[in-house]
Chains A and B, each alone.
Chain A
Amino acid sequence: MGLKMVMEFGPIFRALLNNRTRFWLILIEVALTFAIVVNCTSIFLDKRQSFNSPTGMDIANILVITTEPFGDDFENEDYVEDVGASDLRRLRSHPAIINATPILHFPLSGSGSSTGRKAAGSELDAVSVGYFWVDENGIETLGVELIDGRNFTDADIEDQNDNDIPRNVIVTKAFAEQVFPDGNAVGSQITNRDGQTPATIIGVIDHMNNSWPTSTFGDHTMLRPGINHYSHEMNYLVRAEPLAIDSLYTELEELMVSLESDRVVTVRTLSEIKQGYFRRTLMAMKIWAVVIVLMIFITSLGIIGLTSFSVTQRTREIGTRRALGATRLAILRFFLLENWLITGIGLALGTLLTIALNFALAEYAEAPKIDPMLFAGGAVALWTAGQIAAFIPAMRATTVSPEIATRTV
């Protein structure tokens, strides 16, 4: 900014004080808009982050299959087991399928099982953890990364019904680190709150969300070995080869019914399940985005209106300045600089309002902490919007003819 422009601040400021209504209106409008836009953006980004944060699984390529049997044959436990085994054989032998695992509830679905677990013998309170029953193909099907210990084996699956021996489980790193801060999770035992149902951690996976990714324990996940047919329902997770998911999606229902027709088969993608879980979040994001755009739009309209008004009111003054030698550029610069100054003061006031609104929302509803960069981003956005808005009436001001000054004196 040139020295000449800085020197213009004085007269601009004095002119503003002579026109207090306009000054205050723009000031309050800019401040309120800034407070709302920054807070809304902060909430928007927070929601987007919760939707976009990695789940640890290869969700783009995972299909979920639910089967709900209705035939009388399913009263027989052996029959149920046979059907389950044949389903899995058929799925795993499919060329477009990397692997498949039986499962009861689905990750990211909002519906599942959770419990509390602590280090065996520990006096500390149990840590919440969501769990899934899977077999030795679970890890590959989910696409999660085993970073310590070992996977389940056939033997682990066989032992599932024996209540007397400690079962083997695999847990996520986040859960392992909370329960065993010293990092000796693999090989250690965990129990429930009351010190019962002991289990041995045999492996640690890097990251995997459970059924409730946005909950406080969304990355505390435990894999238990076994096949759990709840009400004889048999559900599967299937990991498709890259690009094969679309054709599998249409093919699998028929395939499953052809294996055993006395059941209702539903095929969905894990992404669909995730979309369902985040439906409200996604909708809220859209609403917040619309509010942000509308706010800036409305405020720009207001600035156009008020600057227009100012130009109209000062037509004679502009004419006089033009007659005294001011160039068109100087007139344009005057209005833009004036707008820049008011917006700046509005932003300063707006920063305080933003913090106040953030506290109020946090107290009464929801409001994440605001990233300082958002203040900078919001300021740039409003300054730019203000300059563009002021430019339109300011251009009109440059067309004021100098002779106006001579006409009415």
Chain B
Amino acid sequence: MFTYQLRLAFKSLRRNPVLSTLMVVAIGLGIAVSTASVTIYYIYSGNPIPDKSNVLFHVELDNWHPDRPFNRDHPERAPFQITYRDAMALMQSEIPAYQNAAFRTELMVFPDGGERRPYREVVRMCFADFFMMFDVPFQYGGGWTDTADQAPEPVIVIDSTTNQQLFGGINSVGRSIKIEDRYFTIIGVLAEWHPTPKHYDPTNNAFSEPEAMYMPLNFTPIFESTSRGNTWGWADESIDTYGDYLQSELLWIQMWVQLDDETQKQAYQDFLDAYVLEQKKRGRFDRPLNNRLLDVMTMLKELEVVPDTTKSQLVVSLLFLVVCAINLVGILLGKFLGRAPEIGVRRALGASRRSVFIQHLIECEVIGVFGGSLGLALSVMVLDAINRMLANGEQLHLDLNMVGAGLLLSLVAGLIAGIYPSWRICKVAPAVHLKMQ
């Protein structure tokens, strides 16, 4: 019966190809626009590390200006970054399963021992745990060890794009590369990795690409590296030497810990509080005690990383789909009722109301599915165009969930649009139309 009705539906759609195309295009545009904006919203508001987002905590210490909160609208919040000296102190803790203090800087890279022009590259200074705690995937090799952190040993992790550019994409582990005035041994090459939003450093453009290179943070004083990300300060302190910079109250380090259970979390919270109370005795942290451990999603929500435009586009595009569906109702109504005489004959020959109703509903769903497929294809193009326009390394693309959501939306749109016209046509009284023939 179903195949028969499906055949009827196709036959009916073929009878008026222009109108059918129009309906498919109308619903397709609605699906394209709404799937694209649902996808963007879904990616921007998504969880970049679902398996671990509940055990990874962003460490925040409130050492802002004694008289003013960091965020005037939310005085209960602390700054999103911490000072270098506090980061170094916190890294001594043995409580967390993993812990990482990091920041982004830029260093000069000399490819091929100086044959090619040197260039400046974005480098993340971090600790060995960075790769483990954030589940960073490797194409070749891996991260370094705690021992390499301490020395620090000249080891470096590069991303796959850099590996392509400098070594033609081969397994370059063990090769060396000159950074500033010394040689580093490549210990790992990253596989494709695009955490979105970029959870580990969301205040420096949450939708930018991860850094191209990673090296032990303890090279910071050796290279006298300064932060090339947000740096916040409140104190009036004179910074004349690099040593002053490292000892200053400037905030530029992102600190993360992995705490696997409540006991560990409580222990670490106690550790933080004890540290800050100790610092208070030395005249620092002249604010109420406010040490915060925020899990990934709470932190992203507080930072409001989803752009407002994305939210308005989501609302508007869903309304757009509603208009497309209403449109479809109108066209279907016209089409179905135009066929009333024929349905009258079928009813008179014994077709039940139910089968007439279902037949037409199936026709609507066929339109919905065709429109949905067209819409999904269009939204792939839309997202691709957006990726290119942003040229930011953003990776907006449909995943299976979004393809499913798009098809579901098109089925629902087809159903909603189809119910009323199908109901109207199945109520056709056979006698009237027979008389008119």
Residues B316 and A32 in contact, CB atoms below 8 Å apart: no
Question: Number of contacting residues on B, CB 8 A?
Answer: 51
Q: Which residues of A contact B238 (CB under 8 A)?
A: 163
A227 to B390, CA, bound (A): 34
Q: Which residues of A contact B323 (CB under 8 A)?
A: 29, 32-33, 36, 295, 298-299, 302
Contact indicator per residue, chain B 408-426, by CB within 8 Å of chain A (1) or not (0): 0000000000001000100
Q: Which residues of B contact A230 (CB under 8 A)?
A: 226
Contact indicator per residue, chain B 379-390, by CB within 8 Å of chain A (1) or not (0): 000000010011
A160 at the interface (CB under 8 A from B): no
The A-contacting residues of B in range 300-316, CB under 8 angstroms, are: 307-313, 315-316
Give the residue of A26, A39, A196, A312 whose beta carbon is less than 8 angstroms from that of B316. Answer: A39
Residues A70 and B118 in contact, CB atoms below 8 Å apart: yes
Of B117, B319, B386, B424, most buried by chain A (CB within 10 Å of CB) is B319
Q: Which residues of B contact A408 (CB under 8 A)?
A: 436
Report the stretch among A96-104, A134-142, A283-291 that lies at the interface.
A283-291
Q: Which residues of B contact A35 (CB under 8 A)?
A: 319
Residues B309 and A366 in contact, CB atoms below 8 Å apart: yes
Of B22, B329, B392, B424, most buried by chain A (CB within 10 Å of CB) is B329
Q: Which residues of B contact A309 (CB under 8 A)?
A: 330-331, 333-335, 337-338
B136 at the interface (CB under 8 A from A): no
Give the residue of A70, A295, A365 whose beta carbon is less than 8 angstroms from that of B312. Answer: A365
Q: Which residues of B contact A361 (CB under 8 A)?
A: 312, 315
A52 at the interface (CB under 8 A from B): no
Residues B316 and A36 in contact, CB atoms below 8 Å apart: yes
Of A29, A35, A357, most buried by chain B (CB within 10 Å of CB) is A29
The B-contacting residues of A in range 340-373, CB under 8 angstroms, are: 357, 360-361, 364-367
A26 to B424, CA, bound (A): 18
Contact residues on A (Cβ < 8 Å of other chain), bracket? 35 or more
Closest CB of chain B to A51's CB: distance in Å? 13
B272 at the interface (CB under 8 A from A): no
Of A196, A301, A357, most buried by chain B (CB within 10 Å of CB) is A301
Q: Which residues of B contact A28 (CB under 8 A)?
A: 326
Q: Which residues of A contact B119 (CB under 8 A)?
A: 264
B324 at the interface (CB under 8 A from A): yes
B289 at the interface (CB under 8 A from A): no
Interface SS majority for chain A: helix
Residues B389 and A286 in contact, CB atoms below 8 Å apart: yes
A284 to B389, CA, bound (A): 10
Closest CB of chain A to B67's CB: distance in Å? 8
- By beta carbon, the residue of chain A nearest B336 is A309
Q: Which residues of A contact B274 (CB under 8 A)?
A: none
Closest CB of chain A to B228's CB: distance in Å? 9
Closest CB of chain B to A366's CB: distance in Å? 4
Q: Which residues of B contact A25 (CB under 8 A)?
A: 326, 329-330, 333
Give the residue of A194, A294, A364 whose beta carbon is less than 8 angstroms from that of B29. Answer: A294
The A-contacting residues of B in range 17-57, CB under 8 angstroms, are: 22, 26, 29-30, 33
B236 at the interface (CB under 8 A from A): yes
A163 to B337, CA, bound (A): 87
Give the residue of B33, B181, B319, B322 whose beta carbon is less than 8 angstroms from that of A294. Answer: B33
A211 to B370, CA, bound (A): 48
A366 to B310, CA, bound (A): 9
Contact indicator per residue, chain B 392-414, by CB within 8 Å of chain A (1) or not (0): 10000000000000000000000
Closest 3 CB pairs of A and B: A309-B334, A365-B311, A366-B308
Can you pick out 28 interface pairs between chain A and chain B where the beta carbons lie within 8 Å of each other? A22-B333, A26-B330, A28-B326, A36-B323, A43-B312, A70-B180, A230-B226, A264-B117, A264-B118, A280-B309, A284-B313, A288-B313, A291-B317, A299-B323, A302-B26, A305-B330, A305-B334, A309-B333, A309-B338, A313-B337, A357-B315, A357-B319, A364-B311, A365-B308, A365-B315, A366-B308, A366-B309, A367-B312
Contacts beyond the supplied A230-B226, A308-B334: 15 A-B pairs with Cβ under 8 Å: A22-B333, A29-B326, A29-B330, A36-B320, A36-B323, A40-B316, A70-B180, A196-B236, A279-B390, A291-B316, A309-B330, A309-B333, A364-B315, A365-B310, A366-B309
